[in-house]
Amino acid sequence: MQPDSAQAAVCERIELALGDITREHVDAIVNAANNSLRGGGGVDGAIQRAGGPEIMAECRKIGHCATGEAVITGAGRLSARFVIHAVGPVWQGGGAGEELLLASCHERSLELAREHGCRTVSFPAISTGAYGYPPQLAAPIALAAAIEALTRLPLIEKVRFVFIDEELHGVYEKALARLKASA
Ligand code: AR6
C-alpha cells in the first residue's frame, strides 16, 4: 500500500458523532482531565457523575498527570471498560507548546488504550472548553494526532470523537474532510 492510500484507510477508522460521551459503548472513553486528577466541570464532571465514585477513588491513588500525558482507570458504572484521563494544554495564545501537548495527549491516550487491549476509543474535544483552545485550531491537531497514532496501532479499530455541541461537531467535520482530501 502506498503511504497516501494507507493514510486514507486510517481516516476511515475515525468517526465523528454528536452526543454525550458518557453514553458511548466503546472499550475506553477519554476524559478531558486536569493535572491533579481531582475532577472538575465539563466532560470530567459528566464522567464522574455518570460513572460513580470508583473513578475518582482510582484517580486519587494515581494522584497526578502531566500536561500532554494520560493515565487510565476503570469506568465504574459506565458502559466503557476504561476511562483514560488525558490532560490537554490550557490555551495561552499558541506560543507555549500547546500544539505539541494537544497532539501528545491524544497519542498517549491511544497508546494506553492499546496497552489495555482496547479496540474502540471515544474522545471529547479536549482543551476546547474550560481550557480555551480555539476549536478551529484544536480540530486538525487532535485529528492528525489520532491518525498518526492509528498508523502505528493497527489493533485499534475505531476512534470516535464525540461532541455535545453541534457547532463543534461541524468544525471537526470540516477539519477531517480537509485531512482526508490531503491524504
Ligand atoms: N460529552 C461530550 N462532550 C462534552 C460533554 C459530554 N458530556 N460535556 C462537555 N463536552 P472541558 P477542557 C465538551 O471543559 O477544555 C474540567 O473541569 C465541551 O463542549 O470538559 O479540556 C477538567 O477537570 C467542550 O468542547 O475540557 C479540567 O480542569 C469539550 O467537551 C478542565 O475542565 C471539552 O471541555 C479541562 O478543560
DSSP letters spanning 40-74: -SHHHHHHHHHH-HHHHHHHHHH----TT-EEEEE
Closest residue (by CA) to atom 34 of ligand 1?
Answer: 129
Name the strand (E) or helix (H) holding 3: helix 3-11
Atom of ligand 1 nearest to the CA of 132: 15
Exactly one of 4, 20, 44, 165 is catalytic; name it.
44
Whether 134 lines ligand 1, by a CB cut-off of 6 Å, is no
Whether 162 lines ligand 1, by a CB cut-off of 6 Å, is yes
pLDDT at 1: 47
**Residue 37: strand, helix, or coil:** coil
- In the block, cell 482531565 appears at 33
Whether 34 lines ligand 1, by a CB cut-off of 6 Å, is yes
Which residue ranges of the chain lie beneath pLDDT 50?
Answer: 1
44 labelled catalytic: yes
Could you tell me the domains of the chain? 4-182 (3.40.220.10)
Q: Under a CB-based contact definition with an 8 Å cutoff, are residues 51 and 57 in contact?
A: no
The pTM for the full model equals 0.97
Whether 88 lines ligand 1, by a CB cut-off of 6 Å, is yes
